[in-house]
């Protein structure tokens, strides 16, 4: 099935090409599944905690978190970028938060196509309460790793993230 036998890297040279490629594919697939699994675990727990403790959701928390770091407000498109989701999606979440008075859309006088979304005072108050708890959860969850391991993971994932950003589907020669 794997029609691309191209050796990907410089290998010490003890293995035949067939085994090398197959082994590397295996590692890549396993790595992907494991990455997904870890993320799902953490995400699931955070989500459950947000639901049971604050009756809110991760995307809503995420949107508010973005705004908290931007007192001057953010455009919908900026929210979309930072949250790594579609514009249409941001519209929905913003609608919901605005309806509850946690967030407000302000028209930009310079460009009337734009909304500047800001946290309301109530939104800010509520976010701060949630943020403290959220940090505890994450720190506790990732506390299963040693500081040294966390650092290593952070670096490796940083590398991965960096390179994925510039990756556009070219095959390695």
HEC readout, 80-136: HHHHCCCHHHHHHHHHHHHHCCCEEEEECCCCCCCEEEEECHHHHHHHHHHHHHHHH
Return the residue of 77, 133, 143, 151 that touches DNA, per CB under 7 A. 77
- Our finding on whether 13 is near its own copies (CB under 8 A) is no
- 76 lies in the binding site for DNA (CB under 7 A): yes
Contact between 151 and its own copies by CB under 8 A: the answer reads yes
As a 3-state breakdown, the chain gives helix, strand, coil percent values, each rounded to 5, of 65, 5, 30
| Contacted by 76, from DNA, its own copies, none: CB < 5 to 8 Å by type | DNA
Q: Is 7 in the site for its own copies (CB under 8 A)?
A: no
Q: How far apart are the first and last CA of the chain?
A: 19
Asked if residue 67 binds DNA (CB under 7 A), the reply is no
Restricted to residues 42-81, the positions that interact with its own copies (CB under 8 A) are 42-44, 69-70
Looking at beta carbons only, is 23 or 111 nearer to DNA?
111
Residue placing its CB nearer to DNA in the complex, 8 or 58? 58
Binding to its own copies (CB under 8 A) within 15-44 occurs at: 24-25, 27-32, 34-44
Q: What gap in Å lies between CA 30 and CA 17, rounded to an integer? A: 20
> What value, to the nearest 5°, has the Cα angle with vertex 32 and ends 62 and 48?
35
Contact between 111 and DNA per CB under 7 A: yes
CA dist., res. 148 & res. 89, Å (int)? 37
Strands 103-107, 74-75: pairing kind = unpaired
Applying CB under 8 A, the residues found at the interface with its own copies are: 1-4, 8-9, 11, 24-25, 27-32, 34-44, 69-70, 84, 128, 131-132, 135-136, 138-147, 149-154, 156-161, 163-165, 167, 169-172
């Amino acid at each position: 099935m794997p029609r691309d036998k191209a050796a990907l890297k410089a290998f010490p040279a003890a293995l035949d090409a067939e085994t090398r490629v197959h082994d590397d594919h295996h590692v890549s697939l396993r790595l992907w599944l494991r990455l997904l699994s870890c993320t799902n675990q953490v995400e699931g727990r955070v989500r459950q905690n947000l639901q049971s403790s604050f009756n809110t959701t991760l995307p809503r928390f995420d949107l508010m978190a973005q705004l908290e770091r931007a007192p001057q407000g953010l455009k919908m498109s900026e929210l979309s970028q930072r949250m790594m989701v579609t514009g249409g999606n941001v519209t929905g979440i913003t609608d919901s938060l605005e309806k509850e008075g946690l967030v407000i859309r302000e028209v930009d006088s310079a460009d009337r196509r734009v909304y500047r979304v800001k946290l309301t005072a109530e939104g800010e108050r509520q976010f701060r309460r949630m943020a403290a708890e959220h940090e505890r959860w994450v720190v506790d969850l990732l506390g299963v790793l040693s500081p040294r391991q966390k650092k290593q993971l952070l670096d490796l994932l940083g590398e991965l993230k960096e390179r994925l950003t510039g990756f556009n589907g070219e095959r390695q020669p």
